[in-house]
Amino acid sequence: MANLAVGVTPARMMHHKYALLALVAFLVSCGSPAGEKDAKAETLVIGGDDASEQTENLYQMPTPNELFQIVRTMSGEGQKRMMSPAKNVERYATTQKKALNFGVYATDLVYASTYKITSEVVRYYLTCKKLGDELGLGGSFSDKDFARLERNLTRGDSLDVISNEAYDRAYRRMQDERMGSTLALVLAGGWVESMHLVSRQVLHFDAEDPLVMRVAEQKTSLDHLIDMMEQYKADPAVSEIRDKLLKLRDIYDTFPVIRSEHQGASPSGRMILGEDVTVIVTPEGFKDLVDALETMREDIIRPEDIIEPSKI
């Protein structure tokens, strides 16, 4: 098994280790705010229609708040302007756009809850509820939970719990009802928005910045997302988005990789077999990745009554 790392060279390129666990399982481990207990890793297990029988097709996708925990630790507060405008929810007509932006808005809801941006939590909850209902997910974002949100607007921890419960219900509903192509689009929208919110916190490239490391190491979750979408690529709506994600992966693939024999044991004292993989990220490579990511995000959140510049 290879032990992957985002590495730093003497030229101030970055070094960071993270584990690639059994099969295609991927868990993002993040730091918790000072003074709090370590956050429990949360994942959504995504599979095909017969996932219960074919475990090799299971994918554990990280939930957005796993990425946000480190952002919250490093920067201290969220920024409303980085979220996708909730007012655009009425301007998505196709299933593709609704599913993608459901993922975007659900991510923004978790972001607002994590950062305790209470003025936006209710707004984004209602936005998610509207798109969820239109996608056939009625009940995932319920009136009961909306009332809980209103009662707990001054209790940030409760907002975080309620938002994550709704987020989890919606995703599991899509899996249980075999809404595979819709789920693939929702996951893609959520992944892109999560990466946007994290990368936009990096104002100046620093090879040792944990946020830079976190963006770089998401190639693994991107690989799993692309693999999961493979089974639905016959759907033009999924295929279009998958092709764009493949272009992002092409940029990741330009990052040089250095392999070396692993030295030492794990924190538990057990010996680790395999090799370390050091991924070299330059300022230019990081910029190319973020620029491509932002272009894709703009395409996703653009209302459908606005003509794309390339089509004018």
pLDDT at 52 over 60: no
pLDDT at 247 over 80: yes
Length of the chain, please? 312
pLDDT at 303 over 80: yes
Among 45-49, 144-148, 195-199, 240-244, whose mean pLDDT is lowest? 45-49
Residue identified by tokens 């996951």 is: 187
pLDDT at 210 over 90: no
State how far the Cα of 115 lies from the Cα of 122, in Å rounded to an integer: 14
Rama region for 139: left / alpha / beta (φ>0; ψ in -120 to 50; rest): left
Give the number of other Cβ atoms within 10 Å of residue 186's Cβ.
Answer: 27
pLDDT at 37 over 50: no
Structure tokens at 275: 């090799």
Rama region for 168: left / alpha / beta (φ>0; ψ in -120 to 50; rest): alpha
For residue 154, give every residue at least 6 positions away whose Cβ sits within 8 Å of its Cβ, in sequence order, or none: 118
Residue identified by tokens 């893609």 is: 188
Residue identified by tokens 């092409």 is: 250
pLDDT at 33 over 80: no
Using pLDDT thresholds of 50, 70 and 90, give the confidence band for residue 65. Answer: low
Average pLDDT for the chain: 73
The pLDDT score that the predictor gives to residue 185 is 93
- Highest-confidence range of 5-9, 24-28, 58-62, by mean pLDDT? 58-62
- pTM beyond 0.85: the answer is no
pLDDT, tens digit (0-9, with 9 covering 90-100), for 92-134:
999 999 999 999 998 898 888 888 888 888 899 889 989 988 9
The pLDDT score that the predictor gives to residue 311 is 56
The pLDDT score that the predictor gives to residue 249 is 95
Using pLDDT thresholds of 50, 70 and 90, give the confidence band for residue 29. Answer: very low
pLDDT, tens digit (0-9, with 9 covering 90-100), for 137-148:
877 777 777 777
Q: Which of 164, 161, 138 is nearest to 151 (CA)?
A: 161
pLDDT at 297 over 60: yes
- Say which amino acid occupies 136: G
State how far the Cα of 201 lies from the Cα of 182, in Å rounded to an integer: 29
SS3 assignment, position 61:
strand
SS3 assignment, position 63:
coil
The pLDDT score that the predictor gives to residue 228 is 86
Q: Are 46 and 183 in contact (CB under 8 A)?
A: yes
State percent of the chain over pLDDT 90.
27
Cα end-to-end distance, the chain, whole Å: 50
Average pLDDT (281-289) is 92
User: Checking DSSP bridges between strand 275-280 and strand 2-7, what pairing results, if any?
Assistant: parallel
| Cα atoms found within 13 Å of the Cα of residue 188, Cβ hemisphere only | 34
Q: Which of 148, 140, 160, 187 is nearest to 44 (CA)?
A: 187
- Say which amino acid occupies 199: S
Structure tokens at 220: 């693994």
pLDDT at 213 over 60: yes
Cα-Cα-Cα-Cα torsion 61, 62, 63, 65, nearest 10 degrees, comes to: -170
pLDDT at 59 over 50: no
- Highest-confidence range of 25-34, 187-196, 239-248, by mean pLDDT? 239-248
Q: Are 173 and 140 in contact (CB under 8 A)?
A: yes
- Say which amino acid occupies 140: S
The pLDDT score that the predictor gives to residue 23 is 20
Structure tokens at 70: 């480190």
